Amino acid sequence: MILFRIWCVLSFVALSVYTAPVFMADPNLFPPFFGAIQAGGWQGQFNFDFMFMLTLSGLWVGWRHRWTAGGSALALLAFLGGAGFLSVYLLVQSVRCRGDVRQILVG
């Protein structure tokens, strides 16, 4: 579990370091993201695939929290926040669940 927690921290830090200057240069993500999907090609295919992974992440987080109001808010954050959100969420859950993987996955 310690390696998993280290991975969560490292992925959050790496993603934050990479994302901060990109966001500062161009804070409007949606036009290029959906524009690449609309244009076709491999970048659009990757974005389309990634959007479904974000959707699965959001659905899982919402389901795990029984679609309560808080769970629905977390689901939206999972969809919009991607790996940045999920790395922190899984780190917190791994501590709260004392490393019990079944508890982490199903709540």
> Alpha-carbon distance 36 to 44, whole Å?
4
> Alpha-carbon distance 71 to 98, whole Å?
21
Instruction: Dump pLDDT digits (tens) for 4-17.
Output: 999 999 999 999 99
Give the per-residue pLDDT at 67.
Answer: 98
Q: What is the mean pLDDT of residues 92-97?
A: 97
Give the per-residue pLDDT at 82.
Answer: 97
> What global pTM score does this model have?
0.92
Give the per-residue pLDDT at 23.
Answer: 95
Instruction: Dump pLDDT digits (tens) for 15-61.
Output: 999 999 999 999 999 999 999 999 999 999 999 999 999 999 999 99
Residues 49, 51, 55, 57: is their CA dihedral positive or negative?
positive
Instruction: Dump pLDDT digits (tens) for 59-88.
Output: 999 999 999 999 999 999 999 999 999 999
Counting residues of the chain whose pLDDT is more than 70, the rounded percentage is 100
